[in-house]
Amino acid sequence: MLSNGVICVVDDDEDVRESIGAFFRSAGIPTEKFDGAEALLAWPGLASMRCLITDLHMPGMNGLDLQRELKRRGRVVPVILMSAYPTHDSREQAKALGVSFFATKPADPEVLLEQVEALHGK
């Protein structure tokens, strides 16, 4: 799984980024962490991203806007969107944009790992 790519974690909350990143690394899955959508988009290794785990609500570009921009750039990867305050509207927008999974925060890292594995066929 993901033998030639990384999981990217985008969240403005450092504790969330570090927790998810540490969990995935302990499972042997390479990760890169970013404090915002703009930082991910500026990352020179963007082409190596194989899955994105991102927060919905962040300063600047939110998770839905990030998904729109990635699609605009032709970077279509599985996306797991997280929100502490999910709404019906945000879930519908995520679905319309092709988000693979919508997680309510605090997201269980084991559930996130299960989703990543399911999206990539282990």
Dump the DSSP string for 59-104: SSS-HHHHHHHHHHTT----EEEEESS--HHHHHHHHHTT-SEEEE
For residue 72, the domain's CATH number is 3.40.50.2300
Q: Count the domains in the chain.
A: 1
Please state the pTM of the whole predicted model.
Answer: 0.92
The separation between the first and the last C-alpha atoms of the chain, rounded to the nearest angstrom, is 5
pLDDT of the residue at 1: 46
Q: Is residue 69 part of a domain?
A: yes
Closest CA to 41 of 8, 17, 13, 15: 8
pLDDT of the residue at 79: 95
Q: Is residue 15 part of a domain?
A: yes
Q: Is residue 121 part of a domain?
A: no
Full residue range of the structural domain in which residue 73 is found = 6-105
pLDDT of the residue at 3: 54
pLDDT of the residue at 5: 79
User: 49 is written with which tokens?
Assistant: 């991203």
Q: Which residue has the tokens 């996306």?
A: 79
Q: Tell me the mean pLDDT per 10 residues along the chain, length 122.
A: 77 95 92 97 95 95 95 93 93 94 92 88 56
Q: Is residue 91 part of a domain?
A: yes
The CA distance from 78 to 115, in Å, is 10
Q: Is residue 119 part of a domain?
A: no
pLDDT of the residue at 4: 64
